[in-house]
Amino acid sequence: MDDWDNSDEFIQRLDFSSCGEESEDRSVNEEDALSLSPPRSCEFQKWQGSSPLSASPQRKLGEIFLDKTKAWMSPTLQSSPAVSKSWGNVETPLHITWQKLQLCDTPHTPKSLLSKTAFPSSGTKVPPKSFRHLRLTPGADLDDSTQASLVNINPFTPESYRQMLFLPNGKRKTRDELRNPPLRSQIKQELPTNRYPLKESNMVSRYKKEFLELEEIGVGEFGSVYKCIKRLDGCVYAIKRSKRPLAGSSDEQLALREVYAHAVLGHHPHVVRYYSAWAEDDHMIIQNEHCNGGSLQDALMENAKLGQYFSEAELKEILLQVSMGLKYIHNSGLVHLDIKPSNIFICHKLAVASPAEQEESDSEDETSSGVVYKIGDLGHVTSITNPQVEEGDRRFLANEILQEQYCYLPKADIFALALTVALAAGTAPLPHNGAMWHHIRKGNIPPIPQKLPHCFLELLKLMIHPDPVERPSATALTKHPVLCPSRGKAVQLQKQLNVEKCKTAMLERELKAARLAQTLMKDQLLGSAKLQESETSSKQRNKHLVGGKSCRSFSFTLGY
Ligand code: 809
C-alpha cells in the first residue's frame, strides 16, 4: 500500500463534501446516481424507503482512516462479507440507448427524483429515510419544493401506473375513465411538472464528484481505464472512460452489451465485479472491481523480461479458475468471445490479516496460492442462443467463428483459453494469420519451452480440437482429473466406498434371509410339536369322556 504512505496529505485531497455525512450505505449512493442497471423487481420497494440491495461492505469513514493497512483497496478484497448482487435473469431493456439515458446525466437521477415524486401525497417534504442524506448538488441552494419540482416523469414507473389506474382520491378508475384518460395536464397535477433542464452547465461530472483519479492503468482505442478511489467509501475501483458512441450506432449497442452482461451476470469470484455504469458529457463510464495484480498480459510481459514462465501448478490454477468463471458465464446463457491474457485480471490477497485471522477467513475467493484470476472486459459478450458476434482478437479466434458458424460458441472460449494458457507456459507470441495460424487451428499446440506432463499437454490439445464438439466444456474442465487431482482421488474413494456399501447391503440381505428361514423352521418345529401334543391330549380326553367324569376344558393355539 505504498501509494498511501503519506495519508494525511492524501486525506486532505479527498473531498467528502458531496457525500453526505449519513451516507454510509454505498448501495444507496450508487444506485441513486444514474445507473444503467436494468430494472429490477425490487425497484418499487426501494422508493418506499428500504434499500434491499447492499452490494458492498459498509464501512464507517472514520474506520477507513483508522485502518491504514486495510484502506484503499478494492471492496472485494476486504474481508467484509460481500452480499451477492445477483439480479437473476433480468430482462434487459434493449431499446434504451445512451442518448435516451442522457436524461439521467445528472446527480438528479430517476430514482432519487422519483423518491420525491413517489411521496407527493404524503403531505410532507421529508423524503423516506434512505433518501434523506442525498444532496442534489446543482440545486443545492434551492429550497426543497423547487428541488422536488425539477424532475422528469418516467411513464414506466409504478407511480405512473398508479396514476393511470387510480383516481386522486384512491378509488379505482372505471372502464370509461380508463378508456378516456384525462388530459395530460390533469395527470401532471399530481406529479411535479418541471423537466430537469439538461443544459451542460447544470451537469456536474459524477466521475469527478465521486471519484479521485489515482492513475491511468490502461489506454487503447476503447478509451482509458483509471484506478480511482471512491470518495465516499474509500475503496479502489477500475473505471473505464470511453468515448460515447453515436446514438443508434452498432457501437452503441456494443457498448451497452458490456453493461447488460455485467448486470445479468451478477457476482462470481472469477468474473470481474461490476458496480455501476453511467453516461456523462461525451463519455460512457463503467465502474468495476479493481484487481490489484494487473492483467495476466502484464504478468506475461514481466515473465518475458525475466526469462521466466508460469509453473505447471500455476498454469493449472489459471486454467481451473478461468474455467470456473467461464462455466458461470456459459451457464448464464452467455459467451465471452474475447478470452486472452489482457482480459484476465489478477487479484492478490493482501497479507494484512494475522495468520490466525487468515485461517478464520471464509472467503469464497480463497485459493491455495492466494492468487485469484478473474475474467474481465465483457465488451464482446453475447448470448449463446441469439448471438450477435463481434469477433475478438484473431490470435485467439477459433476457426469456426471466422467461418461464421455459431453453433458451439462456448467452445470458442475454450479454444481461446487453451492458447492463453499456452502463452502463460512460455509459447512464443501467437500469429494473427498465416501458416502457423492454420497449423494451430488444425489442433496443434505451438511449442512450449518447458517440460509439462503429457496429460496436461493432451488436455490443452483437446481444447483446441478443430471440431468444437470434441473440446471439453468449461464444466468438464472444472472437474478434470488433470486439474483437480484431489477430486480424482475423491471420486476413486467414493467409488470404492460405494462397492463396499453394496457388499454390506448384500450381506445384510443374506443375513436377514437366513434369520427368517431360521425363524420359520423354529415355528414349524414348534407347530408340529404342539400338534402332536394336542393329538395326544385329545386322545386322553376322549378316554376321560369315555370315563364320563372330566369337568376340565382345554384350549390351545398353534402359535401363529
Ligand atoms: O482491475 C480491473 N478491473 C477492470 O474491470 C479492469 C481492470 C484493469 C486493470 C488492472 C489493474 O491492476 C488494468 N486494466 C487495463 C484494466 C481494465 C479493466 C477494464 C476492462 C474495465 Cl474497468 C472495463 C472494461 C474492460
Cβ-Cβ contacts under 8 Å for 25 (sequence gap 6 or more): 51, 54, 58, 130
Length of the chain: 560
Ligand 1: distance of its center to the CA of 486 in Å?
33
Asked whether 237 lines ligand 1 (CB < 6 A), one says no
Q: Give the distance, in angstroms, between the CA of residue 124 and the centroid of all CA atoms in the same chain.
A: 39
CA distance to 167, 184, 279, 397, per residue, from 336 (Å): 49, 46, 24, 12
Mention every residue, 6+ apart, whose C-beta is less than 8 A from residue 504. none
Catalytic residues: 338
The helix-helix angle for 454-463 and 409-424 (nearest 10°) equals 140
- CA–CA dist 18, 33 (Å, integer): 12
CA angle 65, 369, 240 (to 5 degrees): 55
Please determine, for residue 293, whether its predicted confidence score (pLDDT) is greater than 60.
yes
Half-sphere exposure of 59 (CA within 13 A, CB side): 27
440 lines ligand 1 (CB under 6 A): no
Cα separation values, 166 from 115, 157, 186, 515, 551, Å: 20, 14, 13, 77, 97
Q: State the pLDDT at residue 49.
A: 29
> Using one digit for the tens of pLDDT, what is the confidence trace for 197-248?
444 445 589 999 999 999 999 998 788 999 999 999 999 999 999 988 888 7
Which one, of 238, 360, 219, lies nearest residue 293 by Cα? 238
Report yes or no: 429 and 440 within 8 Å, Cβ to Cβ: no
Residue 20 CA to ligand 1 centre (angstroms): 29
If residue 280 lies in a helix (H) or strand (E), which one and from where to where? strand 274-280
Question: Which residue's CA is the nearest one to ligand 1's atom 5?
Answer: 288
Pocket test for ligand 1, best of 226, 242, 285, 288 (most atoms within 8 A of CB): 288
The 10s digit of each residue's pLDDT in 276-286 is 999 998 899 99
Spatial separation of the C-alpha atoms in residues 452 and 389, rounded to whole Å? 35
Instruction: From the CA of 240, give the closest atom in ligand 1.
Output: 22
191 lines ligand 1 (CB under 6 A): no
Report residue 355 as a C-alpha cell.
Answer: 495468520
Q: Does ligand 1 come within 6 angstroms of the Cβ of 295?
A: yes
In angstroms, what is the span from residue 290 Cα to ligand 1's centroid?
Answer: 7
Between 30 and 318, where is the model more confident? 318
Ligand 1 atom with the shortest distance to the CA of 291? 1
230 Cα–ligand 1 center, Å = 16
The proportion of the chain whose per-residue pLDDT surpasses 70, expressed as a percent, equals 59
Out of 17-26, 28-37, 255-264, which region has the weakest mean confidence (pLDDT)? 17-26
Residue whose CA is closest, atom 21 of ligand 1? 240
215 forms beta bridges with: 227
According to DSSP, the residues that pair with 220 across neighbouring strands are: 223
Looking up cell 420359520 gives 520
Residue in 18, 58, 47, 26 with CA at minimum distance from that of residue 128: 47
Between the CA of 224 and the centroid of ligand 1 the distance, in Å, is: 9
Q: What's the whole-model pTM score?
A: 0.61
The number of CA neighbours under 13 Å toward the Cβ of 70 is 20
Q: Considering only CA atoms, which residue is closest to atom 15 of ligand 1?
A: 218
56: amino acid identity, one letter: S
Backbone angles phi, psi at 349, to 5 degrees: -70, 125
From 271, 289, 295, the mutation candidate for ligand 1 (largest count of ligand atoms within 8 A of CB) is: 295
Half-sphere exposure of 223 (CA within 13 A, CB side): 18
Phi, psi of 507 (to 5 degrees): -60, -40
Distance CA 364, CA 405 (A): 37
The average pLDDT across 364-381 equals 83
CA-nearest residue for atom 17, ligand 1, is 225
Quote the pLDDT of residue 73.
60
Closest CA to 278 of 242, 226, 248, 247: 242
Ranges 44-48, 220-224, 311-315, 385-389, most confident: 311-315
User: All 3 cell numbers of residue 350?
Assistant: 493482501
Residue 327's pLDDT is what? 98
Give percent above pLDDT 90 in the chain: 42
Q: What is the model's pLDDT at position 47?
A: 27
Question: Could you tell me how far CA 484 lies from the centroid of its own chain?
Answer: 23
In a 3-state reduction of DSSP, which class is residue 389?
coil
Instruction: Give the tens place of pLDDT for each residue, 98-121.
Output: 454 443 333 333 333 233 333 333
**Nearest ligand 1 atom to alpha carbon 293:** 12
As a whole number, mean pLDDT of residues 56-77 equals: 41
CA distance 134 to 92: 27
Cβ-based neighbour number of residue 394 at 10 Å: 13
The upper half-sphere exposure of residue 18, i.e. CA atoms within 13 Å in the direction of its Cβ, equals: 20
Q: Encode pLDDT of 527-553 as tens digits.
A: 887 778 777 776 666 655 444 444 344
Instruction: Please work out whether the CB of residue 338 comes within 6 Å of at least one atom of ligand 1.
Output: no
pLDDT digits (tens, 9 = 90+) for 8-22: 443 334 433 333 323
Residue 427 has pLDDT above 90, yes or no: yes
